[in-house]
Amino acid sequence: MARAAAPQGGTAEGLSLPCVLPSKRAVRGWGDQLFRLLLRSAASALLAIVTAMVVVMVRAATPAIKAFGWRFLITSTWDPVTEHFGALPLIYGTIVSSALALLLAVPLGIGAAVFLAELAPLWIRPPVVFLIELLAAVPSVIYGLWGIFSLVPWLRQYVQPALGATLGFLPLFQGPPYGVGMLTAGIILAVMIVPFIIAMSREVLLAVPNTQREAALALGATRWEATRIAVLRYGRSGLIGAVLLGLGRALGETMAVTMVIGNRPEISASLFAPGYTMASMIANEFTEATSDLYLSALVEVGLLLFVVTVAVNGLARLLVWSVGGAVHEVRE
């Protein structure tokens, strides 16, 4: 009877009554029945909520879906005046900022996770793990605050001019250094998702059986080599899952991005240019939506965001579960 160790993905093992009391099984008192009903309703409430959410959002987005169809995803104009709404700049902005965030966060995150799970001296681990957990608890709006007053000026005054001077031949680093823009959004997203990547990766690495490490070490591998061939390879799919989880978070981040991305629905090749993401557009314009179609378009953007994040997160969890059985949800 696996009570304390049931895997998270499978069916719950209920409690098994002792076989000597078959009569208790057949006749359940009304107390038990009521209790069972209560529990089941509570659990079903979640089902009701999710169903309601999907239904309500689809209904609210329908006018926009009917009006624009597939072109919604590929048109770049976002004009409330003429009521022409195309989500392409938003999709572009979301993808680019998230991709940039991953580019920065994945090497750092997995590197730090390897350090904390495998290579670091034991006394260093608890304090650093603690600090990283604190990072995960900081609200988005505070990251945004720091972004506006600390990160943006720093980028505008030092980093962007430097990048423009050295790598300005690339269209990525051309254009005036506003400070706010895609690059800033990518950096701040990276800072925000890295604690999650580290936490998940660390759990994946710790789930690798010790015998694997020993096998490599006994062959004459150095600590790093043992980590490389036995641990990282073994936990490969779990690590990819951790990265995807980070991506899922980045896609949905709203406040910090809104505060540093410049909020302009344009597509530009340069990372210095301001942009827009799906989440930040909703945050900025929802209360300004003057017409029903405008609102409906915004809800459609929300629906899009919902579908994408659910897909990415679903895939991520599948991969994370595949390593060593149950890996628990990150405690924030």
Q: What's the burial of 33, exposed, middle or buried (CB within 10 Å: 0-12/13-18/19+)?
A: exposed
| 185 belongs to the binding site for another protein (CB under 8 A) | no
Binding to another protein by residue 29, rule CB under 8 A? yes
331 binds another protein (CB under 8 A): yes
Residue 10 gets which letter from DSSP?
A: S
Match 């590929």 to its residue by tokens: 74
Residue 318 sits in the site that holds another protein (CB under 8 A):
no
Among 102, 180, 255, 327, binds another protein (CB under 8 A): 255
Q: Quick one: which of 103, 162, 269, 310 contacts another protein (CB under 8 A)?
A: 310
Residue with smaller CB distance to another protein, 175 or 246: 246
Q: Which one of residues 19, 31, 81, 82 is an interface residue with another protein (CB under 8 A)?
A: 31
Which residue among 65, 174, 286, 322 contacts another protein (CB under 8 A)? 286
Nearer to another protein, 65 or 168 (CB): 65
Q: Is 19 in the site for another protein (CB under 8 A)?
A: no
How far apart are alpha carbons 264 and 57 in whole angstroms? Answer: 25
The answer to whether 301 touches 281, Cβ cutoff 8 Å, is: yes
Task: Give me the residue label for tokens 């942009």.
Answer: 275
Under 8 Å between Cβ of 259 and 144: yes
Q: Output 96 or 194, the one with its CB closest to another protein.
A: 194
Query: Contact, 271 vs 181, CB < 8 A?
Result: yes
Query: Which of 93, 241, 246, 248 is the binder for another protein (CB under 8 A)?
Result: 248
Kindly report the number of other CB atoms within 10 A of residue 313's CB atom.
Answer: 18
Candidates 22, 153, 176, 314; binder of another protein (CB under 8 A) is: 314
150 binds another protein (CB under 8 A): yes
According to CB under 8 A, which one of 217, 264, 267, 324 is a site residue for another protein? Answer: 217
Number of residues that bind another protein (CB under 8 A): 126
Give the Å distances, CA to CA, from 53 to 35, 59, 254.
Answer: 27, 10, 19
Interface segment toward another protein; rule CB under 8 A; list 62-70, 162-170, 171-179, 294-302: 294-302
Listed residue (102, 282, 267) closest to 189, CA to CA: 102
221 binds another protein (CB under 8 A): yes
* Count of residues making up the chain: 332
> For residue 3, what is the DSSP state?
S
Task: Report the residue from 10, 22, 176, 325 that binds another protein according to the rule CB under 8 A.
Answer: 10
Three-class secondary structure of residue 14 per DSSP: coil
Least Cα distance to 100 among 176, 188, 196, 159 occurs for: 188
Which is closer to another protein, CB of 134 or CB of 170? 134
Give residues 71-90 in contact with another protein (rule: CB under 8 A). Answer: none
Least distance to another protein from the beta carbon of 92, Å? 18
Question: Does position 7 bind another protein by CB under 8 A?
Answer: no
Residue choice 65, 67, 172, 206 for contact with another protein (CB under 8 A): 206
Is the Cα dihedral 18, 22, 28, 29 positive or negative? negative
- Interaction of residue 158 with another protein, rule CB under 8 A: no
Contact pick of 131, 162, 170, 269 for another protein (by CB under 8 A): 131
Separation of alpha carbons 187 and 171, rounded Å: 19
Residue from 9, 22, 153, 325 binding another protein (CB under 8 A)? 9
Q: Of 22, 53, 79, 176, which one interacts with another protein (CB under 8 A)? A: 53
Coil, strand or helix: which one is 122? coil
Q: Binding of another protein at residue 25 (CB under 8 A)?
A: no
Q: Which segments within the chain are labelled E, that is strand?
A: 78-79, 84-85
One-letter amino acid at 151 equals: L
